[in-house]
Amino acid sequence: MTQHPDTLCVQQGWQPKNGEPRVLPICQSTTYKYDSSEHVGDLFDLKVPGHFYTRLSNPTAEAVEKKMAALEGGVGALMTSSGQAASLIAILNLCNSGDHFIASGSLYGGTTNLFDVTLKKLGIGVTFVDPYATAAELQSAFKPNTRAVFGETIANPALTVLDFEKFSRAAHAHKVPLIVDNTFPTPILCRPFEFGADIVTYSTSKYLDGHAVSLGGMIVDSGRFDWKASGKFPGLTEPDPSYHGLVYTEAFGDAAFIVKARAQLMRDLGCAPAPMNAFLLNLGMETLHLRMERHCRNAEAVAAFLEKHPAVAWVNYPGLPSSRDAALVRKYLPHGTAGVISFGAKGGRQAAVRFMDSLKLAAIVVHVADARTGVLHPASTTHRQLTDEQLAAAGISPELVRLSVGIEHPDDIIADLDQALSKT
Ligand SMILES: *Cc1c(COP(=O)(O)O)cnc(C)c1O
């Protein structure tokens, strides 16, 4: 019987045997001791499971990977040092120089830079598509060398909701996988494999960690994409010369993608998580189900309050009944849309700055999605080099405030926002 996500959050991953520590231990060791060199040779040849060097795998990270794979319903997971590393490895595992992929234009800024600047320098092309593109427009973005489609379930910071059906249909019609960054909903609010995604990526630095204590990333493999039938992925279906001719689909079947990501790309790129960070991530995830519920209920109350407030010009929260994405939310995110809201104060940039400077409980931070309520004014911080025209092109109006609603009592959050709005 598969257990509920709440139980998996608490119990999955580390299951101690008789007399072992009850709590997941931090295996702060780069190396592992074996009795014979033959055994180590078999480990290197991927013939037997086991750890031999922490860049490749570590028992603390492995426990969190197992928890994550169970929560998503995948065949395996790979933890990375950050969300950026997870996006990088997910793409490089499918695309070589000369290949191309399609991404929703509504993405995290760091991901946009990675795709649009750094991957292009490596010879991998990307076409960004409007998340609201029609099926026909999406279709026209495909090229013969397209190898993947990428989107975010709830995009950071635009908060657009991915139309899974439209994106997965297009990807599968062209025999390529759909990769979904599920950072904001977490598996508590959305499990993308149920809606046609093939690979899921995360920045675990946000809600999964939940306390803003450690950077991390995760890649989860559904095991459902048929690499052989596609015929477009020789890296998975033909011999790997860097592994003396190993064929990932033959040796590892459904888990070919995630084994290759670890054995080849983690080996070569080295963006491995620290065991201590894996421990902290696991600790955060033990309360994920409780925190996500509270983030959602608090943000719903805050969004409804802001929408009615006379000093507020507009509110963008996918969980509001008035949201442009309300139909997509009903379909894909029926339990809630996490805790991030953006809104505009009447009075433009000046009003936004006065509002932020008057807050007492909500802190000004360049982060989202942790237990504490935080705010950011992109026009005066992360995007301050841009003119108002450039801000508009990036979808960021000068008055936009991004609010990450925490898990404090909702009345206290609303009281703080109310007193600060009275000063605008
Ligand atoms: C923060 C974030 C990332 C990048 O993750 P890091 O852990 O900061 O490297 C990627 N995608 C989304 C949606 C994010 O919010």
Q: What is the pLDDT of residues 113-158, one digit of tens each?
A: 999 999 999 999 999 999 999 999 999 999 999 999 999 999 988 8
Q: What does the pLDDT look like over 167-194, one tens digit per residue?
A: 999 999 999 999 999 999 999 999 999 9
Element (DSSP H or E) covering residue 202:
strand 199-203
pLDDT at 182: 98
> In this structure, are residues 159 and 318 in contact, taking their beta carbons and an 8 Å threshold?
yes
pLDDT at 385: 75
pLDDT at 381: 80
36 Cα: distance to centroid of ligand 1 (angstroms) = 42
List of the chain residues with pLDDT < 70: 1, 393-394
Cα–Cα distance list, 120 to 99, 159, 178, 352 (Å): 10, 26, 20, 36
CATH fold of the domain at 289-421: Aspartate Aminotransferase, domain 1 (3.90.1150)
- The DSSP annotation for 259-315 comes to HHIIIIIIHHH--PPPHHHHHHHHHHHTTHHHHHHHHHHHHHHHHHHHHH-TTEEEE
* Whole-prediction pTM: 0.97
What residues flank ligand 1, with Cβ below 6 Å?
Answer: 82-84, 108, 110-111, 152, 156, 181, 183, 203, 205-206, 215, 217
The ranges of the chain annotated as CATH 3.90.1150.10 are 289-421
The ranges of the chain annotated as CATH 3.40.640.10 are 5-283
Q: Ligand 1: which residue has its CA nearest to atom 8?
A: 83
Which numbered atom of ligand 1 lies nearest the CA of 368? 15
Residue spans of alpha helices (H) in 316-358:
326-332, 348-358
Tell me the C-alpha distance between 296 and 200, whole Å: 22
pLDDT at 383: 77
Q: Ligand 1: which residue has its CA nearest to atom 12?
A: 108
Residue 46: Cβ within 10 Å count: 16
Amino acid at 206: K
Tell me the C-alpha distance between 406 and 294, whole Å: 8
pLDDT at 1: 57
- The CATH architecture annotation of domain 5-283 reads 3-Layer(aba) Sandwich (3.40)
Mutating to test ligand 1, I would choose from 89, 182, 183, 370 the residue with most ligand atoms within 8 A of its C-beta, which is 183
